[in-house]
Structure 1
Amino acid sequence: MQLGGKHIALIATDEFEDSELTQPLDALRETGAEVTVVSIKPDTITGKNGTEIHVDALVDDADSSEYHGLVIPGGVGNPDKLRTDEGAVSFVRDFFEQHKPVGAICHGPWLLVEADVVDGRTVTSWPSLKTDLVNAGANWVDEEVVVDEGLVTSRNPDDLPAFCSKIIEEFAEGKHEEQTV
């Protein structure tokens, strides 16, 4: 499946789970998608295992209407920092308001909880997020990958092959008009 002409945002900051950022980034670029790394911090971000990634845009300067989809990698520190930034939370919420596909893996759904976009959705995540997601109105399941009207979620790095495959599929499909916020 090719994503030429698609522009995807990947939102992250320091302490991301290295493979949960690099594998989707590489998979999307291999399909021809243009991927912009968006962050709350300029220049470079560093994963918990030392991978350095160039930041293309600051979240406060990014416009969700310019993108066809969004990826949120995990790592405990990454979404925990992002969910305390009003601009990052608003950026994520905008994708749901525009019915655009979003992929979140591991601890990434913490940002979805803060954006108040999981009520009524079926999702998965790292197991420790189950209570937070359920309290936010989500139906949490323990599955490798879950797709709910353009929202793709997975649990951990072992799920990356399935996660990458499904986000590519959803980004190729595009908007989901039936999504609710």
Structure 2
Amino acid sequence: MKNPPQLFGIPVDESIMALGMLQADQLASGIDASSLSTRRVAVLAGDGLDECQLNEVRRVLEANGAHVDVVSNRSGPLRGVSGGQVDVDHHWLDMPSVMFDAVYIPGGHGSVETLRQDPDALTFMQQAYEHGKSLAATGQAVALLEELGVALPDRVGEGTSPGIVTDHDAQALERVAEEFVAAIIKDRHWRRHEPAEAAMAPLMPSSSHQGSTGLGPI
């Protein structure tokens, strides 16, 4: 017997889940860019991050109204690969992924290795992905998402996994940021967990089902 789908570890009726995804898509289609002012984006990083990548992506996010927080495993400023410093807003144990609408992981060998070796950082990314949130990664951080089993687009603009934006060579940072903004505006990407044929099937919800897509800031 086929196991029922789960949402946050809880078995969910397929028709209710499908209805929720359809309603989320319909709501997202009516959201304009100004709504990004209510969104919080976590930058997950450690010492040795590429601050140039971070600065470019953050510039576009903040220009569109997003609130950007640097989240790390320490409270002091992070050292960048180009010699700069980046202030840390939160420790990831104090501000888990459920507090954010999206996550950006910049490159930088030292930073990526810090994340790779820390179970809490991996959980942060994995939960954001499983909760349908938008994720972006640049430089060495792209490989980190791949190691977590995230289906990556072949190149910027080809979102084979909805809500995922990457640039391995970090040569198109402004476009990455713009694609990331567009993904965040669409809100949650529940359909990334749905088989392609099911996503395309017409929805015929039963009148006996009642529910809401208002799952709160998780």
Q: Residue in 2 aligned with 1:179?
A: 192
What value does the CA root-mean-square deviation take over the aligned residues?
1.7
Structure 2 match to 1:9? 42
Query: Counterparts of 1:29 and 1:110 in 2: how far apart (Å)?
Result: 26
Q: Normalising to structure 2: TM-score of the pair?
A: 0.69
> 1:22: how far off?
0.9
Q: Which residue pairs with 1:52 in the alignment?
A: 85
Q: Which residue of 2 aligns with 1:38?
A: 71
Which runs of no fewer than 5 residues in structure 1 stay unpaired? 124-140
Larger Rg: 2
Q: Which residue of structure 2 aligns with residue 101 of structure 1?
A: 134
> Per residue, is there more strand in 1 or in 2?
1
Partners of 1:29 and 1:15 lie apart in 2 by: 23
Q: Contact conserved, 2:132 with 2:192, CA < 8 A, in 1?
A: yes
Q: CA deviation at 1:43?
A: 1.7
Secondary structure, aligned partner of 2:108: coil
The answer on whether the counterparts of 2:146 and 2:152 sit within 8 Å (CA) in structure 1 is no
- Post-superposition CA distance 1:77-107 (Å, at most 9, x none): 2111211001100011110111111001111
Paired position in structure 1 for 2:149: 117
Report what 1:152 is aligned to: 165
Q: Deviations over 1:103-142 (max 9, x none)?
A: 011111233244x232xx233xxxxxxxxxxxxxxxxx3x
Paired residues in the alignment total 160
Aligned residue identity for 2:126? R
Answer yes or no: is 1:163 the counterpart of 2:176.
yes
Spell out structure 1 runs of 4+ moving beyond 6 A: none
Distance 1:178 1:145 in 2: 18
Q: Note closer, same or farther for the CA distance 1:105–1:145 as it changes in structure 2 (3 Å cut).
A: farther
**C-alpha displacement of 1:40:** 1.1
